[in-house]
Amino acid sequence: MLVAYQGVPGAYSEMAARFLFPDCETLPCETFDDVFAAVEKKKADRGVVPVENSLAGSIHQNYDLLVSHKLKVIGETYVRVEHALMALPATKRATVHSVRSHPQALAQCSAFFAENPRVKPVTWYDTAGAARSLAEARETDPASVAGVAAIASEAAAEIYGLKILKKKLQNRALNFTRFLATARAGTRTPVPSPGETKTSLTFIPVRNRAGVLHAITGVFAAHDVDLTKIESRPDPDNAFDYRFHLDAITGPHDPALKKILAALKPLTRELRVLGSYARAKVPGNREH
């Protein structure tokens, strides 16, 4: 099985792909859009993308891509994020003046930059990609990365021959990113067993009806179905209208799901089930 992910070897997305599909081969992609396109165009069998981080929040681009592409969500996993500050072997921590990494990683390490105001955060397309850029510069123009560091996983430092200047750079010890696995619609995938199954939906409420969002969430409450997430995103086709993404603890084995979907139809202008899949346990949480 070939699984597409955004980034380069050593990226957290690659770790997630191997957690979800242990025997897979991986296909690195430059952008999240490329991951969705690779699955849609049958260049890959599955895709894995991050959707939210426990410290920095949602990755909105991927929620939008779930809507614009016709893939289905078939699984989820949580990857513990332990960022490390790394640089070329000759670099000393005191000489670091700029740090490259993905915007989410930079946000997750904001306390480091607050404590070191002379160090400039530099946005990079990927954590492991930032690490690789230092290794590549060592061969072509080492002077250009003098005093430049990267924030990435310890695995990336090992892969690209970098020296770790500081471990556990993130603001808080409990730092996890949630990843979703996708497949083409119609692909045969394992049916989640009864019990802890999660279903992801997206919908746009009907207009000009007071309390419509309350009514929508009330449908789930009336069927004793727990909601684990609800988030709004702008509707690009209608200014200041909003689309909602919702995760509920229910699935195809639950008789309530069919009733819920039927009750939601008159309350929504658009309603789509993104997928049902086994609910992953959040590592580090005392209660599930």
Q: Do residues 75 and 121 both lie within one domain? A: no
Phi-psi region of 267 (alpha: psi -120 to 50; beta: other; left: phi over 0): alpha
Say if 287 falls within a structural domain: no
| The two three-digit tokens of residue 41, written as one number | 């165009």
Say if 253 falls within a structural domain: yes
Say if 57 falls within a structural domain: yes
Give phi and psi for 286, each to the nearest 5: -75, -25
Residue found by looking up tokens 């009514």 in the block: 215
Total domains, the chain? 3
Q: How many helices (H) and strands (E) does the chain have?
A: 9, 15
Q: Do residues 37 and 73 both lie within one domain? A: yes
Q: Do residues 6 and 77 both lie within one domain? A: yes
Cα separation of 182 and 20, whole Å? 11
Q: Do residues 90 and 160 both lie within one domain? A: yes
Q: Do residues 255 and 144 both lie within one domain? A: no
Q: Do residues 94 and 49 both lie within one domain? A: no
- Summarize pLDDT for 40-88 with one digit per residue, the tens: 999 999 999 999 988 888 999 999 999 999 999 999 999 999 999 999 9
Say if 28 falls within a structural domain: yes
Q: Which parts of the chain sit beneath pLDDT 70?
A: 194, 284-288
Q: Is the dihedral of CA 193, 195, 198, 201 positive or negative?
A: positive
Q: Do residues 75 and 9 both lie within one domain? A: yes
Say if 8 falls within a structural domain: yes
pLDDT value of position 288: 43
pTM for the full predicted model: 0.90
Cβ proximity of 156 and 163 under 8 Å: no
CATH number for the domain that contains residue 216: 3.30.70.260
pLDDT value of position 238: 87
Neighbours of 20 (CB within 10 A): 20
Q: Which residues contact 56 (CB under 8 A, 6 or more apart)?
A: 104, 107, 108
CATH number for the domain that contains residue 51: 3.40.190.10
pLDDT value of position 188: 86
Q: Do residues 53 and 90 both lie within one domain? A: no
Q: Do residues 37 and 180 both lie within one domain? A: yes
Q: Which residues contact 28 (CB under 8 A, 6 or more apart)?
A: 5, 6, 7, 8, 9, 11, 14
Query: Mind telling me the catalytic residues?
Result: 177, 179
Say if 288 falls within a structural domain: no
Helix, strand, coil percentages (3-state) for the chain, rounded to 5, are: 30, 35, 35
| The two three-digit tokens of residue 268, written as one number | 């929504």
Long-range contacts made by residues 117-122, C-beta under 8 angstroms, separation at least 24? 122/98, 122/148
209 is in which domain, residue-wise? 197-277
Q: Do residues 218 and 270 both lie within one domain? A: yes
Helix, coil or strand: residue 212 = helix
Say if 32 falls within a structural domain: yes
Cα separation of 213 and 206, whole Å? 9
DSSP letter for 238, please. Answer: S
Cβ proximity of 175 and 238 under 8 Å: no
Q: Please report which helix (H) or strand (E) contains residue 82, including its range.
A: none
Say if 286 falls within a structural domain: no
Q: Do residues 214 and 245 both lie within one domain? A: yes
